[in-house]
Chain A
């Protein structure tokens, strides 16, 4: 049976209207509704289903961030994860935390906890990086099965159907491996009231990147954050000649 590590990220809720901060250095997060990244929910659900099928023995959820990140760990625990690890990162440093840092953190934890399978969401809905799974696999020198929409676990290998631009691809890879969950992998469950109450008693271990020997000094500097340009209205033209004329004027043809 596999030991599974699931990465969960606390992001601004998908339904919230995002507002850029007045100082243009980021978006407003204070008092804004946050929840678990939807793709991470799918990852947690997959891990819990594996445990129910007795393919997985223990599931550990990890989140990197300030104190509030614990909320999503609790949600994961309420869905059926066994224990949590909160890698505490102060708010200021969290602004410049990148997948390169997170992947190193996950890799170190995977080694410490003797993990066989890492499952993360394919990307976070705030930065849309789509890098953590791939980088983590590279750091560990493990195979990766990204954009998974169906997973079958054999004794020593995984058969994964991936949704790629060209269609569906089925690959086999050895375990241990890193998987990233795509939308159609499963439909996450609602936490039941008994499980929410049980989750309160499950442990969340705390550690810092320093404890793991990972350097999280920023590799990037946020120069500015701006709203996308307002869409300009179109123009209705009387005939094709006018259209061609306008296109020539605009230097498009």
Chain B
């Protein structure tokens, strides 16, 4: 006997039906998104791809290209027009990030993180006064950062050690943050610290902190395996004074805010993974049509065909998940399951595709003369930052179990 409760879950409301139609129509991007994709694709091909190897080799930040991307409106895609943003949806951001990452994985990381973990965060949770100071100036290519992880708190970020002590009308921040992307270039950061460790994650609060603040210093740039164009470093906070007015959102609400923002950031990372994967796929297919062995092009051989098919399938499947998560991210309060699935699928697809790309290229896939090895190195981070794959699986498992209980 079906209970009324179960029956009510079966009835699809008009709103849900409308949303369903939106999902299914994602087999083809809307016109505006296609136009944006064309521009981002062209910019990446003209301005990023030619210098990507150099940026990687020299661990160099693409300052000029970031300024140009800002002129195109791509450094504040989802921020309201009132604050200098383009006022677009997460799908537009996803599409743009994928194309940019396809040209240069590191630049893709910079754009994704600045958009998803700084600009959009302040746009969503900031007061008008905070947006005036910490959002508006950050839409023209000036970079903002996100400082959540610590040397002793990554996956277990709820147990962070950075503290915020209230002193009159200021908070005083003490602690160390790690893996701050664009730390060496940014002018401000959203820094998470706890006002009371005994409250566990309910003490965590977000603070808007200018990088030039007294007591704030940076460590040397991390020497990374990949995305070398995107600098990251430690941030040291020693008695950094932050006015109460610069608390982002509510005191004690920082953890929830960060987790909610990660729903969007995971879409960004997933898009980055798609772009890197796509570059590797196209490289592999192009090479396979040229390389001859045993009297024919290697793309005529079943072993290579099978590999290419698997690469394309994984990338395409992940892409649909990413688009879906991007749309849901804007339509629902939380899109955790879909965002996690997208990030997990896209990152593992990227590492698979870049691995297979080197395999198809053989010896030349192993040398720096071809970009295959760089794609391989760039892809690897997507399985780690924004929440390691293992955490994504735990999240998805928990949600699905609850869903079908």
Which residue numbers of A lie inside 8 Å of B, CB to CB?
35, 74-75, 78, 190-194, 196-197, 199-200
Q: How far is the CA of A191 from the CA of B77 in the complex (A)?
A: 14
Q: How far is the CA of A194 from the CA of B85 in the complex (A)?
A: 9
* B43 close to chain A: CB less than 8 A: yes
The 8 A CB mask of B61-83 against A (1 = contact, 0 = none) is 00000000001111001000100
Q: How far is the CA of A247 from the CA of B271 in the complex (A)?
A: 61
**Chain B: minimal CB distance from A16 (Å):** 14
**Chain A: minimal CB distance from B96 (Å):** 8
Known A74-B31, A200-B31; further 10 A-B contacts with Cβ < 8 A: A75-B35, A78-B35, A190-B43, A193-B39, A193-B73, A193-B77, A196-B35, A197-B88, A199-B35, A200-B32
Q: Is the CB of B32 within 8 A of A197?
A: yes
B1-56 contacts to A (CB < 8 Å): 31-32, 35-36, 38-39, 42-43
23 contacts between A and B (CB under 8 A): A35-B38, A74-B35, A75-B35, A78-B39, A190-B39, A192-B39, A192-B71, A192-B73, A193-B39, A193-B86, A193-B88, A193-B96, A194-B73, A194-B81, A194-B86, A196-B36, A197-B32, A197-B86, A197-B87, A197-B88, A199-B35, A200-B31, A200-B32
Chain B interface residue number, banded? 10 to 19
**Chain A: minimal CB distance from B67 (Å):** 13
Which residue numbers of B lie inside 8 Å of A, CB to CB?
31-32, 35-36, 38-39, 42-43, 71-74, 77, 81, 86-88, 92, 96
From DSSP, what is the main secondary structure of chain A's interface residues? helix
Query: Chain B CB within 10 Å — which of A74, A75, A197 has the most?
Result: A197
Contact of A196 among B39, B42, B71, B81 (CB under 8 A): B39
Q: Please name all residues of chain A whose beta carbon is closer than 8 Å to the beta carbon of B43 when the two chains form the complex.
A: 190
Q: How far is the CA of A80 from the CA of B320 in the complex (A)?
A: 33
Residue of A nearest to B68 (CB): A190
Q: How far is the CA of A200 from the CA of B43 in the complex (A)?
A: 21
Q: Please name all residues of chain B whose beta carbon is closer than 8 Å to the beta carbon of A191 when the two chains form the complex.
A: 35, 39, 72
Sort A-B residue pairs by CB-CB distance and give the 5 closest, nearest first: A193-B73, A193-B86, A192-B72, A196-B35, A192-B73
Q: How far is the CA of A145 from the CA of B393 in the complex (A)?
A: 65
Residue of B nearest to A74 (CB): B35
Q: How far is the CA of A192 from the CA of B81 in the complex (A)?
A: 14
Q: Is the CB of A193 within 8 A of B31?
A: no
Q: Please name all residues of chain A whose beta carbon is closer than 8 Å to the beta carbon of B39 when the two chains form the complex.
A: 78, 190-193, 196
**Chain B: minimal CB distance from A196 (Å):** 5
Q: How far is the CA of A196 from the CA of B87 in the complex (A)?
A: 12
Q: How far is the CA of A81 from the CA of B92 in the complex (A)?
A: 23
Residue of A nearest to B84 (CB): A194
Residue of A nearest to B87 (CB): A197
**Chain B: minimal CB distance from A186 (Å):** 15
**Chain A: minimal CB distance from B368 (Å):** 25
**Chain B: minimal CB distance from A251 (Å):** 36
Q: How far is the CA of A192 from the CA of B87 in the complex (A)?
A: 13
Q: How far is the CA of A35 from the CA of B45 in the complex (A)?
A: 15
Q: How far is the CA of A191 from the CA of B74 in the complex (A)?
A: 11
Q: How far is the CA of A223 from the CA of B299 in the complex (A)?
A: 35
**Chain A: minimal CB distance from B156 (Å):** 38
Q: Please name all residues of chain B whose beta carbon is closer than 8 Å to the beta carbon of A193 when the two chains form the complex.
A: 36, 39, 72-74, 77, 86, 88, 92, 96
Residue of B nearest to A194 (CB): B73
**Chain B: minimal CB distance from A145 (Å):** 29
Q: How far is the CA of A197 from the CA of B39 in the complex (A)?
A: 13
Q: How far is the CA of A231 from the CA of B81 in the complex (A)?
A: 57
